[in-house]
Amino acid sequence: MMANDDDVLNGVSGRPLQLLSRWLSDAASAGVDEPRTFTLATASLDGTPHARTVLAVGVDDASVRFTTSRPSVKTADLAANPLAAGVFFWPALMRQVTLHGQAVELPPDEARAAYADRSPNLRALAWVYEDLGGGSPGAAVDPDDVRAAFTRELDRDRPEPPPSWTAYALRPHRVEVWWMPGDAGVATRARFDLAGGEWTRRFVLP
């Protein structure tokens, strides 16, 4: 283990999501664009994979929270198969965090709180999904209608979320962190596994 590996993992051996929180702060401080975005992978009941980029609205010791509108491919997947994976990657910092676990829908009050924290543009977009979603994932839309609905909803700036609004917590049972210092020449990858309420750590090939 390289000397600076201890510095990277200091204080997080039993709480790997604390390292994710730290790296999110580092990415924001470094000026990384949209540092809280991550790739969320889901699968349908028959195993068909789907992936998309979403925004992490909160991180604690047990979960990463994100929001969405329903119906969507992701909500349909998670209703049938709650197992999911997430990947945060900050190329400028040469750091990556991968999460594997179960996504659980959160109570409506938590979804409302997340909506209130969104920018006016993102609140408007949530209502565009409500206005034009058509009741099924992947419904056909006219781009001009989307732009018109967005402008209309941006002017309204509704304080309450639409009925289709919801939030999830991705609760990982495995977290992998990967990093490569600029002068190292080789990366390090640490794997954390949760069993019986306790996290264990080991190093694996990067």
Rg (CA), the chain: 19
91-143: pLDDT as tens digits? 999 999 999 999 999 999 999 999 999 999 999 999 998 888 767 777 789 99
List beta partners, residue 172: 101
Query: Is position 90 annotated in a ligand binding site?
Result: no
Best mean pLDDT range from 136-140, 174-178, 197-201: 174-178
* Mean pLDDT of the region 2-13: 63
- Nearest CA to 106 out of 65, 152, 54, 161 is that of 65
Q: Where are the domains of the chain?
A: 3-106+163-204
Query: Is position 18 annotated in a ligand binding site?
Result: no
Residue 3 has pLDDT above 70, yes or no: no
Check: CB of residue 193 under 8 Å from CB of residue 173. Answer: yes
Query: Is position 179 annotated in a ligand binding site?
Result: no
Q: Which residue has the tokens 């047990």?
A: 62
* Mean pLDDT of the region 35-44: 98
For domain 3-106+163-204, give the CATH number: 2.30.110.10
The pTM of the full predicted model, rounded to 2 decimals, is 0.90
CB atoms within 10 A of CB 33: 8
Give the pLDDT confidence score for residue 5 in this predicted structure: 62
Query: Is position 96 annotated in a ligand binding site?
Result: yes
Residue 71 has pLDDT above 60, yes or no: yes
CA–CA distance, 125 with 122 (Å, rounded to integer): 5
23-38: pLDDT as tens digits? 999 999 999 999 999 9
